[in-house]
Amino acid sequence: MGHYFQAYMMRQLRRHLIWRSFRSRRQLTAITNRTSVIGDDAILAVSVVRNEAQRLPYFLDYYRDLGVTHFLIVDNDSDDGTTALLAQMRDVSLWETKASYKASRFGLDWANWLLMRYCNDKWCLTVDADELFVYPDVQARKLPDLCRFLDQTGTPAMGALMLDLYPQGPIGAVRYTAGQDPRDVLTHFDPTPYRATRQQPRGNLWLQGGARERVFFADTPEKGPTLNKLPLVRWNWRYAYINSTHSLLPPSLNALYDGPSDPRLTGVLLHTKFLPNVIEKSREEKNRNQHFRDPSAFQGYYDSIVDSPDLMGDISVPYEGVDQLESLDLMSRGAWGCGDSAR
Nearest to 73 by CA among 64, 60, 62: 60
Residue 341 is assigned to a structural domain of this protein: no
Confidence label for 343 from pLDDT (cuts 50, 70 and 90): very low
Which pTM does this prediction carry? 0.94
State the total domains in the chain. 1
Residue 197 is assigned to a structural domain of this protein: yes
Contact present, 188 and 167 (Cβ < 8 Å):
yes
pLDDT of residue 322: 98
Work out the number of other CB atoms within 10 angstroms of the CB of residue 117: 14
Averaged pLDDT for residues 280-289:
75
Average pLDDT, the chain: 93
Residue 84 is assigned to a structural domain of this protein: yes
Contacts of 219 (CB under 8 A, 6+ apart): none
Sign of the torsion formed by the C-alpha atoms of 136, 137, 139 and 143: negative
**339 against 68, higher pLDDT:** 68
Query: Looking at 36-50, 183-197, 210-224, 274-288, which range is the least confident one?
Result: 274-288
Residue 70 is assigned to a structural domain of this protein: yes
CA distance 169 to 256: 37
Residue 18 is assigned to a structural domain of this protein: yes
Nearest to 45 by CA among 94, 88, 85: 94
Nearest to 270 by CA among 63, 53, 74: 63
Residues shown for the chain:
343
Residue 34 is assigned to a structural domain of this protein: yes
CA distance 7 to 97: 34
pLDDT of residue 290: 53
Residue 299 is assigned to a structural domain of this protein: yes
Summarize pLDDT for 174-200 with one digit per residue, the tens: 999 999 999 999 999 999 999 999 998
Averaged pLDDT for residues 110-119:
98
CA distance 187 to 44: 29
pLDDT of residue 340: 45
Averaged pLDDT for residues 192-212:
95
Residue 167 is assigned to a structural domain of this protein: yes
Containing structural domain, residue 92: 2-336
Averaged pLDDT for residues 262-268:
97
| Distance of alpha carbon 167 from the chain centroid | 20
Summarize pLDDT for 137-173 with one digit per residue, the tens: 999 999 999 999 999 999 999 999 999 999 999 999 9
**65 against 299, higher pLDDT:** 65
